[in-house]
Amino acid sequence: MPLKRTWWLSLGRTARWCQWRMAAFAASTEPGFEEEQPMSSIRVNPRSRQLFFDFRYRGERCREYTSLPDTPANRKKLQKVLDRMDLEMATGTFEYRRYFPSSAMAARFDTPAVPTAAPSRATPLFRDFAEIWFAERQIEWRQSYQETVRISLDKHLLPAFGATPVGSIDKVDYRPKIPFENRLDFWPPKLF
């Protein structure tokens, strides 16, 4: 029986890890995302047999105790809260005081975690960047592919974005400029 229970608990941890990892991956595209978002768990205080949260936030281990006894219903309630906390930590929207208002640790985390921005400097124009990029990559490509890329740059990209700073190009800017033939808006074709 202990073997089955251990296997079942590890399966639950694996499922939670997969959920956390998917949330972290989704958030990794956001600026300022930090990869170091650890897993959280619900544990039992061996003395009082009450549940508590055990997690890491901003590089510090945090343990927040509850007055709930260790029952399946209470674990399920706390697991829902823990999943929401993990998601918010992964996306950078977690507010410690909102979950634990009377905690002594809340004062430590009151200041928002602001990702340190790199010193601001002007980004190069798309034209300049494209030329440098092409020169660096051209030794890796066959002659026919070099010609294909050069045609794409000269015919489509440089006329549309040549004088635009690279840092200001957004999906809103380039999506309407993609030729209709290359987009999948027309697929699947209407048969009738």
pLDDT tens-digit series, residues 72-86: 999 999 999 988 888
Residue 143 has pLDDT above 90, yes or no: yes
Confidence of residue 173 (pLDDT cuts 50, 70, 90): low
The answer to whether residue 71 scores a pLDDT higher than 50 is yes
**Mean per-residue pLDDT over the chain, rounded:** 75
Residue 135 main-chain phi, psi, to 5 deg: -65, -40
Give percent above pLDDT 70 in the chain: 63
Q: Is the pLDDT of residue 150 over 70?
A: yes
With bands split at pLDDT 50, 70 and 90, how would you rate the model's confidence at 33? very low
Cα–Cα distance measured from residue 131 to residue 123, given in angstroms and rounded to the nearest whole number: 14
* Residue at token pair 């928002």: 112
Q: Which segments of 104-174 does DSSP mark as H helices, in order?
A: 126-137, 143-152, 158-161, 171-174
Higher pLDDT, 46 or 18: 46
Q: Which residue has the higher pLDDT, 170 or 137?
A: 137
Q: Which pLDDT belongs to residue 179?
A: 55
67 secondary structure, DSSP code: E
From CA 42, how far away is CA 54, in angstroms rounded?
Answer: 6
Dihedral of the alpha carbons of 125, 130, 132, 133, in degrees to the nearest 10: 130
Residue 31 has a pLDDT of 47
Per-residue confidence band for 30, with pLDDT thresholds at 50, 70 and 90: very low
Cα torsion for 95, 97, 98, 103, to the nearest 10°?
140
CA dist 39 and 79 (Å) reads 12
Predicted local confidence at residue 3, as pLDDT: 47
Strand 50-57's sheet: what is its strand order?
Answer: 41-44, 50-57, 60-69
